[in-house]
A and B are shown apart, each in its own frame.
Chain A
Amino acid sequence: DADVTQTPRNRITKTGKRIMLECSQTKGHDRMYWYRQDPGLGLQLIYYSFDVKDINKGEISDGYSVSRQAQAKFSLSLESAIPNQTALYFCATSDSRQDGELFFGEGSRLTVL
């Protein structure tokens, strides 16, 4: 089983719908992240969480919200999806005692029509 699991892996939805992407990890890491990947733009940080009570906005948080339900679970929500949120979304984890190395899930591909 993967250490960082994302669900769903693929989702097609319509403009205006609410969408939740979920992430769970078995690595025991305290830090969790949501990134968005678009062709030619690399990875952009949406939100990050240092622990259950510490959630922070990243570079592109507008239109997104997150919830850290437990140390092992971090979900990303799009309250009202729009077409330019069509992208590949990655959850990642890291250990604050280490060097910043990130461990990624396999991604959730979201298409907003």
Chain B
Amino acid sequence: AQSVTQLGSHVSVSEGALVLLRCNYSSSVPPYLFWYVQYPNQGLQLLLKYTTGATLVKGINGFEAEFKKSETSFHLTKPSAHMSDAAEYFCAVSDRRGYQKVTFGIGTKLQVIP
């Protein structure tokens, strides 16, 4: 069975500071990994994903994440937070077998302080 752990349901950063949202996963097979973002009153949209190849993945709005197999982690970072980054972020894992079941973490709400 696969699972996702997001450390910190709420994270606050100052505008211009580093954003670091943590995600650890458990999977019996090499996974696909995703970060989704949910802005208020909207659905989820893909921020970035790791499927194969380069372990440092760049996404939209300046975010990036690094797949570290030895640490079973896929932490999300952004060098400098903007007010517009305030949202809820979900890490997700999908198995590579036929079903491709997606399991989500509980989400991390990011607050950006002016």
Contacts and interface: CB of A to CB of B under 8 A. Distances in A.
Interface residues of A, number: 18
Name, among A45, A94, A99, the residue most crowded by chain B CB atoms within 10 Å (CB to CB).
A99
Name, among B42, B44, B90, B92, the residue most crowded by chain A CB atoms within 10 Å (CB to CB).
B44
Name, among B43, B92, B100, the residue most crowded by chain A CB atoms within 10 Å (CB to CB).
B43
B83 interface: no
Interface in A8-54: 40-43, 45
Nearest to B44: A104
Interface in B1-50: 9, 32, 34, 36, 41-46, 49
B100 A42 contact: no
Interface of A: 4, 40-43, 45, 90, 92, 94, 96, 99-102, 104-107
